[in-house]
Chains A and B, each alone.
Chain A
Amino acid sequence: MNVLDRKILRNLWRMKGQAAAIALVIASGVATFIMSISTMQSLKLTQATFYRDYHFAEVFSSLKRAPESLKTRIQEIPGVNRIETRVVTPLNIEVKGFSDPVTGHLYSIPDRGKSLLNKLYLRQGRLVQPFSDDEVVIGEAFAESHDLHPGDEISVVINGRLRELLIVGIALSPEHIYQMPPGALFPDFERYGVMWMGRKTLGTVYDMEGAFNNVSLTVSAGANISDIVDRLDDLLRPYGGLGAYGRKDQLSHRYLSEEFRQLEQMAAMFPVIFLGVAAFLLNVVISRLLSIQRDEIAVLKAFGYSNLDVGIHFTKLVLLIVLAGLILGVSGGAWLGQWMSTIYKEFYRFPFLRYELQPAVVASGAFISIAAALIGTVYSLRKAALLPPAQAMRPEPPATYKETLLERLGLKKILRQPSRMIVRHIGRRPVKSLLTVTGIAFACAIMMVGRFQEDSVDYMVDVQFGLSQREDMAITFIEPTSRRALYELKSLEGVQRGEVFRSVPARLRFGHRSYRTAVQGIESEGDLHRLLNEDLKIVHLPAAGIVLTDHLGEILGVREGDELTVEVLEGRRPVLRVPVAGLISQYIGVSAYMELASLNRLMREGSAISGVYLSTDSDQRPLIFSKLKRMPRIAGTELREKAIENFYDTMGETILIFTFINTLLAGIIAFGVVYNSARIALSERSRELASLRVLGFTRGEISYILLGELAVLTLAAIPVGFIIGQAMCFYITENLKTDLFRIPLILEGSTYAFAATVVLAAACISAFMVRRRLDNLDLVAVLKTKE
């Protein structure tokens, strides 16, 4: 090893604290990057593998009833690959010791041979015996939330008849990664269950012998899905087809892919911000670090080392630090990615996890950080190289200080000598001071980015469930019903208010864009379920026309006054043209609303309703529940409290886990930056401070001069950081929009306080560490040689 390489190691050892802090900043930036991207890629790979290996269908349709022979005609549609016909029945489930109404769906599985599509992954037990008439397999999420196991019995009401069934297996299905009750916004694993039973038995129970009411299929590679959807739809129409749809409209898949989209957006934005900030800081820190070395650069040059030699020498030093950061960041990021993927795997109940870290991801993380470091290095080396060695080597000429504006304004009388030194030092090096402020401000800003989502999510839930969807429960019937159902429910003891709604599944079309959802007919003067505008003012539905959530308006590209095509996917399946009467603001979900009477009129159906919103006495709930359970037509009951719980348990959680880890990493970056700023200031000025000590200044006084400056810069940086943080949060909310929800930009005082506290804490710890060094300042050594 030559002397210069040994020098690198010694320099590194000497500045180990600082080097470690810089390496940690890089590591955190890179770790966020690796973690986010690898988690995302792994989840998608896992999902794709699960779908492929378990033959998740690509086109689906429900219908009233069709003879099994229709299957051959479906098979004739060009591009259709495998087909599976099934019997699917709604059911009410009785779970011992659980009072809330529970609904579900029972799916048939072939008695002979294996399922061709949507195959089950058995977690426990076995599949049902062929032709057995009382065995079921149940979904894992439901089983877990009620602690059900193979061997347990469960009672269900199918087609009005109560049956005792024996659970023989617990399974997962690619079709039901998420299990959503009809009409619900969020998955509910407790109040909605999916089960599987032999086709023969289910056919008998549901009067579907030799017939089916559900079909799913896969298509051959390259086939046009929407074409097949249309032809399947045409074929099924005479049999009461309820509108065929592709995977993208399949409930579980849609929900999952929206969640993935959300994660993906975060996985793209966070690393960009973090790595960007880390790169900027790295650049600043490295260039300041090298500017301290300016006389060493000069000495080496004076003895005949070329600019290139010197450049290589210092680049090695920088690269060692960057490499340490990279290794830590890549391995930490991979570890976190794996850990997080495992959490998500459990969360989504994937049967397995395929973690994948692509070399290209590592390479781009490495590239970005090395490039940032090298740009900083080259910049400051160039500056040093331009200076003739003779000048660079002189003990820095006493700088030209001036009275600052502050002092001239009269503060001079107030400020004592050390305070004046602080003010002048900041004033003399405006660029350097500005960079320090910017660095600390960025640290403060990324703390806000990690934190603010919690406020926003809370606010979003408050608005949705506090101001808009105020009903305690929403009851959805299996089929459209007469208004009489409302009076029946309202007469129950404990029900305070009731309002009705109609929900019509439909495909909305505008130009070449379309979206499958339900048109909700609600009472325009309703008090339970209300629509809001941007200012949270109540919007009353107009007597005619359709009102869309702003997000749906964006998806379809419509504005008020445009005419929308509504293809109803129920009953006679009319195709209607309805003018858009306005857009409303809604953070969660994607819906279209019409005034109930006007929807009924369009559907030519009298006063049909799909369900009822109720507000109830909370102590009467059990009574209401037990009544509801005995009503056969109920497809699902959504409880507001549970919906909120479910929201936090599902989506809330996926976001918050992610932001929590990122907040930790942001904290490390923040600390690294502040500590480095303090340490660099110390090395730049230790000579000056040592001289002051020799002149009789106390330790406290010189600490005050150095740390006072740090304090002033930190305090100046915090408000700037708030502004940068607001901009970053704005950028995130603008880009984090999915069909599931749109996070509003809500920054509570606590977020600001949190960011400021972390930065101040980092400043205090750094100050403490610097103070210890100042106390141990070896006056003789410092004055004898330069650092």
Chain B
Amino acid sequence: MNNITDTTSAVFQARGITKVYDMGEVSVHALRGIDMELHSGELVVLLGPSGSGKSTLLNILGGLDTATEGTVTYCGKDLTGASEQELTDYRRYHVGFVFQFYNLIPSLTALENVAVVTEIAQTPMNPEDALAMVGLADRVNHFPAQLSGGEQQRVAIARAIAKKPAVLLCDEPTGALDSSTGIIVLEVLEKINRDLGTATVLITHNADIAEMADRVIHLSNGLISREQRNELRKSPRDLHW
């Protein structure tokens, strides 16, 4: 499982990904040619300074955005050429997403924000259980506007894991959390990763969190600048920042 060279077991395989935002007079090269793989059961941390293209890469892997050039395959299927229906099925049944800006639906309660996903999933958890896992059992009936930033973030995480996805893509899942709450959340992610074999990509600014990963990919200026493998994954409980 930890054999990186075995490309056949790759959940994701990205080749030559570039992303250019055309802004009229200037164009922003957010990604300049990324090659990477993600294997099943693997937990990868994406590190990099602000603006280096982390969110852009994650969005492309999640089928939320399209690459300007290059190919992405998921379990051998080409996402770049996928139809709208295939992409929808992919997002519906395979991916759990935590957005950097949470993007909860303001008119739904915490519980309903989770239920919106579990209602269409194949073998979801109970939405209450998902919220309990992130420590929000007593906030289920609160609307997003009645939750703190960190609580909103945890609802977003509960929403992502509730469908028990095959891949989990998390954009700064602990960005708004204090270290002890952060650790609870990371424990949840790790538990899902370990128990269900969910391939996980986690974006963070925090180098300490990288220690819980199988692999750390450093991104800078739209390119992978360095890749590092941890011999031993640290348990989130042993992290502190």
On whether the beta carbons of A7 and B105 are closer than 8 Å, the reply is yes
**CB neighbours of B103 from chain A (8 A):** 295, 298-299, 302, 393
Cα of A785 to Cα of B102 in the assembled complex, Å: 10
**CB neighbours of B90 from chain A (8 A):** 304
Report if A306-B85 is in contact (Cβ < 8 Å); known contacts: A390-B64, A390-B65, A785-B145. Answer: yes
On whether the beta carbons of B116 and A302 are closer than 8 Å, the reply is no
On whether the beta carbons of A784 and B144 are closer than 8 Å, the reply is yes
Tally of contact residues, A, Cβ under 8 A: 34
Cα of A86 to Cα of B60 in the assembled complex, Å: 95
Contact of B91 among A6, A302, A400 (CB under 8 A): A302
Contact of B88 among A4, A299, A301 (CB under 8 A): A301
On whether the beta carbons of A390 and B144 are closer than 8 Å, the reply is no
Report if A307-B91 is in contact (Cβ < 8 Å); known contacts: A3-B115, A11-B107, A300-B116. Answer: no
A42 CB to closest chain B CB, in angstroms? 45
Instruction: Flag whether B74 is at the interface (Cβ < 8 A).
Output: no
B101-123 Cβ-contact flags toward A at 8 Å (1 or 0)? 10111111000100111011100
Instruction: Flag whether B149 is at the interface (Cβ < 8 A).
Output: yes
**CB neighbours of B64 from chain A (8 A):** 302, 388-390, 393
Instruction: Flag whether A305 is at the interface (Cβ < 8 A).
Output: yes
Question: A1-31: which have CB < 8 Å to B?
Answer: 2-4, 6-7, 10-11, 14
Instruction: Flag whether A620 is at the interface (Cβ < 8 A).
Output: no
**CB neighbours of A298 from chain B (8 A):** 103
B66 CB to closest chain A CB, in angstroms? 6
A316 CB to closest chain B CB, in angstroms? 14
A290-334 Cβ-contact flags toward B at 8 Å (1 or 0)? 000001101111111111010000000000000000000000000
Question: A743-758: which have CB < 8 Å to B?
Answer: none
B168 CB to closest chain A CB, in angstroms? 13
Instruction: Flag whether B12 is at the interface (Cβ < 8 A).
Output: no
Instruction: Flag whether A395 is at the interface (Cβ < 8 A).
Output: yes
Instruction: Flag whether B6 is at the interface (Cβ < 8 A).
Output: no
On whether the beta carbons of A6 and B145 are closer than 8 Å, the reply is no
Report if A303-B105 is in contact (Cβ < 8 Å); known contacts: A7-B112, A393-B99. Answer: no
Report if A785-B66 is in contact (Cβ < 8 Å); known contacts: A304-B88, A305-B120. Answer: no
On whether the beta carbons of A388 and B65 are closer than 8 Å, the reply is yes
Residue of A nearest to B64 (CB): A390
Residue of B nearest to A12 (CB): B107
Question: A773-787: which have CB < 8 Å to B?
Answer: 781, 784-787
Contact of A786 among B56, B88, B106 (CB under 8 A): B106
On whether the beta carbons of B97 and A7 are closer than 8 Å, the reply is no
Residue of B nearest to A6 (CB): B112
Instruction: Flag whether A391 is at the interface (Cβ < 8 A).
Output: yes
Instruction: Flag whether B62 is at the interface (Cβ < 8 A).
Output: yes
Instruction: Flag whether A394 is at the interface (Cβ < 8 A).
Output: yes
Residue of B nearest to A305 (CB): B120
**CB neighbours of B89 from chain A (8 A):** 304
On whether the beta carbons of B145 and A304 are closer than 8 Å, the reply is no
Cα of A299 to Cα of B62 in the assembled complex, Å: 13
On whether the beta carbons of A10 and B107 are closer than 8 Å, the reply is yes
Contact of B116 among A303, A390, A785 (CB under 8 A): A303
On whether the beta carbons of A303 and B106 are closer than 8 Å, the reply is no
On whether the beta carbons of A303 and B92 are closer than 8 Å, the reply is yes
Cα of A6 to Cα of B62 in the assembled complex, Å: 28
Binding site for A on B (CB under 8 A): 24, 55-56, 59, 62, 64-66, 84-85, 88-93, 95, 97, 99, 101, 103-108, 112, 115-117, 119-121, 144-145, 149, 152, 159
Q: Offer 26 A-B interface pairs, CB within 8 angstroms, sorted by A.
A: A3-B112, A3-B119, A7-B105, A10-B107, A14-B107, A295-B103, A296-B105, A299-B103, A299-B104, A299-B105, A300-B116, A302-B91, A302-B99, A302-B103, A303-B116, A304-B88, A305-B92, A306-B84, A388-B64, A389-B65, A391-B65, A394-B101, A400-B24, A785-B106, A785-B144, A785-B152
Binding site for B on A (CB under 8 A): 2-4, 6-7, 10-11, 14, 295-296, 298-307, 309, 388-391, 393-395, 400, 781, 784-787
